[in-house]
């Protein structure tokens, strides 16, 4: 009977009716433990007798605590409690509510949650004529309690699965395909994004939304993975019915039979079209910025607050013997400059620390280096580097080779140190002409 019910609410009335009829008892009640776990409240009552239905109004206004009266004892001991002869109210509070014709026999069957073994409810049965239950009947009742326990677990799992399905349907594009790749289910979100109606998708393969962006090897690897019973994850570019493209982050899960062979494939996708567009714009900006950095005449680098390199341009990388700017990430001055010149690296780090401590730049640091068999002159600027939250995150440095400028200035100075012929010529004219 229980397996024909869709929910606990649907099962309880049928269950209580069945118990009364099969055991020939007059009254059946379902009591639930309230949210505070301190008392039992009546949830549902069944009786074919009009007088007993009126009696149920008393139960609606009554609660039981753990260990008190028959339902409370079933709750406390987690076992079936049975009174074939009710002797007083302390045993069964319902005893006096019917006046002269009171209940003679009663039982309370606790219902336990399968995962916590905590009592979640109590089924109460009572009758106005004495009932002597034999061991088989008591065993049957305990079996019923176990079945209800399993049903409660299934009902809870179904509720959780339904909640998960609703959440998934609101956020993900879901399809189910058979082993031939034919779509046998598509949720509303998939239909909405793809532009296809459900009947247009069912019986079709996912080639219907193929964008031709990916190579045949891409899909060959995908099918090889899921056909082997393994989960595949990746990003796929698809095409809508109207021809527009969209990107999804996809997870394909094979359902396996008892032999470990896939018999169905569940695909869960999340629309990442906007994210891909943003990433593409960032990539373009990064390419543009890298192009600028690599074409300016200066050597450019940036470090964190511990003077560890975070990056540089191509010109700086080559100046320290690296093939690519990424190779400098994580290195320090001691790593990239000759070990024979530790004082040089120490001086650079002292300059860095000054900028970081003062949060003020240093301009035009003049330095002479003997490189390539000749003297070279460089000027360096170091500035504090901040993030978008205006937090100090490191330093930015620029270095420029000013050797040619130094030579030109020296040549000019040398020239200015000699008298100009235009200044000497008038004097010579006066002397010669007497």
CA atoms within 13 Å, Cβ hemisphere of 171: 7
Q: Is 205 helix (H, G, I), strand (E, B) or coil?
A: coil
Q: Which of 24, 41, 50 is nearest to 105 (CA)?
A: 24
The pairing of beta strand 392-401 with beta strand 299-304: antiparallel
Q: Helix crossing, 135-171 with 8-23: angle to 10°?
A: 170
Range 284-306 average pLDDT:
93
Alpha-carbon distance of 41 to 355, in angstroms, equals: 72
- Diameter over CA atoms, the chain: 162
Cα 85 to the center of its chain, rounded Å: 59
Distance CA 77, CA 80 (A): 8
Per-residue model confidence as pLDDT tens digits over 345-403: 999 999 999 999 999 999 988 887 766 667 888 999 999 999 999 999 999 999 999 88
Residue 56 · residue 65 · CB < 8 Å? no
Residue 222 gets which letter from DSSP? H
**pLDDT for position 352:** 96
Answer yes or no: pTM beyond 0.75: no
Has residue 46 got a pLDDT over 90? no
Please report the pLDDT score of residue 186 as a whole number.
95
For residue 33, give the nearest of 19, 43, 45 by alpha carbon.
43
- Phi/psi of residue 286, each to 5°? -65, -40
Beta strands 362-371; 374-386: pairing state? antiparallel
Rounded CA separation 242/30 (Å): 57
What is the token pair recorded at 433? 């002409």
Residue 68: per-residue pLDDT? 84
Determine phi and psi for 5, rounding to 5 degrees: -95, 145
Q: Per this entry, what is the length of the chain?
A: 434
**DSSP code at position 11:** H
Q: Which is higher by pLDDT, 186 or 1?
A: 186
Of residues 406 and 295, which shows the higher confidence score? 295
**pLDDT tops 80 at residue 432:** no
**CA end-to-end distance (rounded Å), the chain:** 142
Burial of 247 by CB count in 10 Å (0-12 exposed, 13-18 middle, 19+ buried)? buried
Report, in angstroms and rounded to the nearest whole number, the Rg of the chain calculated over CA atoms.
43
Contact (Cβ atoms closer than 8 angstroms) between residue 101 and residue 126: no
pLDDT digits (tens, 9 = 90+) for 53-74: 666 666 667 788 888 888 889 9
Closest CA relative to residue 94, chosen from 46, 122, 126, 139: 126
Average pLDDT rounded to a whole number, residues 316-343: 92
Paired with 171 in beta bridges are none
| Token pair recorded at residue 303 | 């470090």
Average pLDDT, the chain: 85
C-beta pairs of 382-389 under 8 Å, 24+ apart in sequence: 382/351, 382/352, 382/355, 383/355, 384/355, 384/356, 384/359, 384/360, 385/302
């Amino acid at each position: 009977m229980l397996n024909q019910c869709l929910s606990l609410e649907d099962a309880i009335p049928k269950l209580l009716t069945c118990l009364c009829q099969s055991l020939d008892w007059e009254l059946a009640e379902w009591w639930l433990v309230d949210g505070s776990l301190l008392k039992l409240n009546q949830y549902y009552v069944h009786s074919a007798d009009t007088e007993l239905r009126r009696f149920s109004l008393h139960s609606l206004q009554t609660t039981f605590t753990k260990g008190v009266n028959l339902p409370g004892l079933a709750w406390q001991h987690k076992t079936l409690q049975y009174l074939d002869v009710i002797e007083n109210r302390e045993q069964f509070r319902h005893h006096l509510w019917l006046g002269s014709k009171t209940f003679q026999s009663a039982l309370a069957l606790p219902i336990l949650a399968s995962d916590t073994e905590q009592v979640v409810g109590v089924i109460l049965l009572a009758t106005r004529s004495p009932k002597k239950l034999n061991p088989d009947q008591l065993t049957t009742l305990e079996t019923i309690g176990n079945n209800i326990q399993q049903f409660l677990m299934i009902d809870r799992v179904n509720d959780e699965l339904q909640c998960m399905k609703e959440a998934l349907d609101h956020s993900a594009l879901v399809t189910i395909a058979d082993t031939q790749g034919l779509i046998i289910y598509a949720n509303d979100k998939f239909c909405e994004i793809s532009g296809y109606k459900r009947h247009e998708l069912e019986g079709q393969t996912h080639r219907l939304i193929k964008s031709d962006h990916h190579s045949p090897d891409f899909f060959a690897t995908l099918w090889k993975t899921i056909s082997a019973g393994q989960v595949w994850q990746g990003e796929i570019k698809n095409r809508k019915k109207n021809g527009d493209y969209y990107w999804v982050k996809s997870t394909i899960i094979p359902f396996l039979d008892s032999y470990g062979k896939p018999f169905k494939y569940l695909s869960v996708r999340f629309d990442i079209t906007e994210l891909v567009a943003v990433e593409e714009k960032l990539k373009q900006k990064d390419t543009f910025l890298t192009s600028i950095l690599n074409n300016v005449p200066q050597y450019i680098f940036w470090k964190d607050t511990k003077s560890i390199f975070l990056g540089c341009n191509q010109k700086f990388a080559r100046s320290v013997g690296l093939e690519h700017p990424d190779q400098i990430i994580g290195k320090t001055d001691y790593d990239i400059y000759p070990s024979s010149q530790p004082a040089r690296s120490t001086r650079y780090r002292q300059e860095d620390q000054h900028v970081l401590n003062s949060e003020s730049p240093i301009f035009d640091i003049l330095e002479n280096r003997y490189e390539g068999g000749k003297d070279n002159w460089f000027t360096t600027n170091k500035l504090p580097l901040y993030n978008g939250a205006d937090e100090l995150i490191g330093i930015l440095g620029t270095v420029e080779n000013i050797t040619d400028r130094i030579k030109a200035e020296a040549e000019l100075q040398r020239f200015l140190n000699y008298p100009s012929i235009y200044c000497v010529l008038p004097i010579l004219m006066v002397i010669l002409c007497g």
